[in-house]
Chains A and B, each alone.
Chain A
Amino acid sequence: MREFITGNQAVVRAAIRAGCNFFAGYPITPASSILTEFVKAFAGGRGVIVQTEDEIAAIGQCIGAAMAGAKALTASSGPGLSLYSENIGLAQMAETPLVIVDCQRMGPSTGGATATGEGDVLFARYVTGGGYPLPVLSAGDAETAYRLTFDAFNIAERYRTPVILLSSKDVALTRQTVDLDAVTPPALVERDSLTSGDGDGWEGPYAVGRPADIPRFAPLGGDTLVRVTGSIHDERGVLTNDRSKIQAKLTHLVEKIERNAEAMERFDADIDPGADTLIICYGGTEGAVREAVDTLRREGAGVSRLTLHTLWPIARKAIREAITPNVRRIVMPELNIGLYADALQGVVAPKRIESIRRYDGGLIAPETICEHLCEEAITR
């Protein structure tokens, strides 16, 4: 059925279909309607919905719930992501499956609550101390937000990690025509379960074979006793100061993401094998890039488009494959100060990324991208 709904509504629909049964959140523009949609969706006890005293409690309750076996989601905007920060580190260390939606808005601080922006693309990756990797996805319209919510849950469950799904004010609150029934979501992945054996009761809720393996999960309150801790711990969840165990745990946190990076790559590529120009985009610039690519091709230009839905880990394979032999120019429009272009510079080197930036709360128009390509071509 075709519907006229917002990106936030699409996220909640997907979350419910993905089996999400716990939401805790605190109101903030432009994420509040995720909270209110969950109130409706979980009416009659179909899930647990909590409006908490702040964002710290929201993610705290989600982490507790997720470690007790729930599929949990919380949602906020940049200011709330700041308050999630410390707990995201806990979720990494405790290997908590959790989906966090960040409906980005303009500027730092309270910025522009009802204006769009995508300035959290680096912040999301580096949101917590320690520097360990964190999967980050980015949606630029309601349908993509719907699809990526399934992906976010699957990555969270499969790899036992918090996952951040980025949208922005214009995705979160813009009503769009979508037919969600026509979208085939990915098959759902559930966390591997650790069942009680006949040993001493400690089955090692953090035990892995190789570093990139994912430990099996047993819920708090279940029949297998588990220890969960945000402090450095061994395979049983017990504090350790054994250097080899510390090294093993922290290397595992890196490798379970980095070695599975290709499996987390979500992107949409429209490649012209003979293209001399590649436009890489994500989130709120994708629509304009699609329009610009059509225009440029009509004018005879050889141009490719790569839309990245996974921002972290960097979709290196997709990027490598999009840089076909004749590509001389790589252009990246962003609704921030050119943050992700900086991050990708090392990936495309020795080529250079030409950054197109807008951060006043407006969108980058297709014409702006076309003009950039034409003007720069003349000045060369």
Chain B
Amino acid sequence: MTTLTQGEHSLLLADKQSMCYCPGCTHASVLERLGHTLDGMGVDPRRVCIVSDIGCVGTSDRYFDCHTFHGLHGRSITYAEGIKRVRPDTLVIVLIGDGGCGIGTAHLVHAARRNADIKILVFNNFNFGMTGGQASPTTFPGGATGTTPGGAVDRPMDICQTVIANGASHVARVSAMDKACSAFMEAALRAPGFALVDIWELCTAYYLPRNKLKPAMLDEFAQDLDMPMGLLRDAGRPVAMGASVATPAPTDKKAEAVTASLTLPWSGRREIWIAGSAGQRIRSAAGLLGEMATNGERYASQTDDFPITVRKGHSVSRLIMSDAPIRYLGCDHPDLLIVLSEDGVKRLGRLDALPASCHVMVDASLTLAGLPREPTRFNFHEIQKQVGAESAAWTILVSAILQLGWIDADALRAAASASFRGSYRDKNLAALEAGIALQNA
């Protein structure tokens, strides 16, 4: 962190008397202490960003002469995290209220879990001051507010334990009236990783008039609620911000570029439907042909139809191959339909609209309703036994396009050899040979 000589520049633009807060509200004194703390730390204001949430404390960014960001209720934590990821040398401080911790609980928990390197100061005055004194997630049991006139009944949220349970590095609770408040804030600002100070405050506009609450009573409440004051956690976790998703070492895919391009002999537009079940590698089979067409100076388009549960239920791939760019992605007039399983039959429904010219190949055990003419049958079970479950769809697709005379075996072999890549290359080439053999048989 770049530093200026202490006293050269104060981050604080106003003293507590000139701030906008109600007489007696502790926001002003805590903010003033924060300014003095930052000055005392000698931080460069260009490397400090204060992110304020919504509520009375949300008006405070104007009192600080550093970078400031004021956004939506409860979301200050998210902006802070985004800023810190891009500006790791900046001290990013969130000023948030108890309401913000309620509406933004998910962010609070997950930022702690990620050990986001941001410092959160909670201005916790047990009610919503800005909107007229409604109950907040931290209102004490029995606390009278605009929305709990007979006293709050819910347990107050323990902000500290919430973030501790989820991996926060540094957590403390302190009363705004406690002289140590500044020291707790400074310790949090200096701590690496996710740090939070839950500062208990007095709202003189709404909470105090309705409730018997004196500064000394905060300690009693803390005891009664088993929410102790003081430093609650100080166990630095290594900070690893930047990427929160583990990223593997880069692999250079370009090395696997197509070795040769063959112009496939197909002309016009061919449409293929393959219908079956999840796990039959139908999408992969269609994709292999699409890749071959693409590498063979042809155009392809593959649209897959599958339920959200990709390991169960139907899987239907619709593949278009054409010698011209494919503009309409709909695959409505199949020249070839292959059906592998009952899931596929169910998904296709009645086939009265199928073009009479469509060649249909179907597993021997299946019955398709509304077919215009007799299909060709194959024994999927036998083929699966022969080439393995993961290659059978591809084998059948190969035998079908050979049977239709769309391509001869040698050209198909050469195109596949030029096109196939990756760890499945050998397996897919073997399944292709099985398809050629099946057709010859």
Give me the interface of A with B, judged by CB distance under 8 Å.
1-4, 22, 24, 29, 39, 42-46, 48-54, 56-57, 60-70, 72, 86-87, 90, 94, 113-114, 141, 170, 173-177, 201, 219-231, 237-239, 284, 286-288, 290-291, 362-363, 365-366
Contacts and interface: CB of A to CB of B under 8 A. Distances in A.
Contact of A44 (B66, B109, B247, B290): B247
A10 B107 CA distance: 31
A46 B247 CA distance: 10
Contact of B330 (A201, A228, A288): A288
B82 A61 contact: yes
Given A22-B85, A24-B82, A54-B106, A49 B47 contact: no
B46 A64 contact: no
B115 interface: no
A223 B87 CA distance: 12
A242 B77 CA distance: 30
Interface in B288-311: 290-291, 293-295, 297-308
B329 A287 contact: yes
Contacts of A29: 308
A239 B62 contact: yes
B243 interface: yes
Contacts of A225: 45-46, 65-67
Interface residues of B, number: 70
B86 interface: yes
Nearest to A225: B67
B281 interface: no
Nearest to A1: B257
Contacts of B149: none
Nearest to A46: B250
Nearest to B73: A86
Nearest to A239: B62
Question: Chain B interface secondary structure, helix, strand, loop or mixed?
Answer: mixed
A336 B291 CA distance: 32
A174 B305 CA distance: 10
Given A64-B82, A69-B86, A221-B83, A87 B72 contact: yes
Given A43-B249, A56-B75, A230-B70, 17 more contacts: A4-B290, A51-B245, A57-B107, A60-B79, A63-B78, A65-B85, A67-B69, A68-B49, A170-B303, A174-B301, A175-B301, A177-B301, A219-B87, A220-B69, A225-B46, A227-B70, A229-B71
A326 B39 CA distance: 74
Q: Which of A69, A94, A221 has the most CB of B within 10 A?
A: A221
A194 to B, nearest CB: 13
Nearest to B291: A4
B281 to A, nearest CB: 15
Nearest to B251: A43
B85 A50 contact: yes
A63 B79 contact: yes
Nearest to A86: B72
A219 to B, nearest CB: 8
A173 B304 contact: yes
B179 interface: no
Q: Which of B59, B107, B251 has the most CB of A within 10 A?
A: B107
Given A68-B87, A226-B67, A229-B61, A51 B82 contact: no
B101 to A, nearest CB: 15
A48 B300 contact: no
Contacts of B243: 42, 45, 48-50
A177 B46 CA distance: 49
B250 A227 contact: no
Contacts of A284: 329
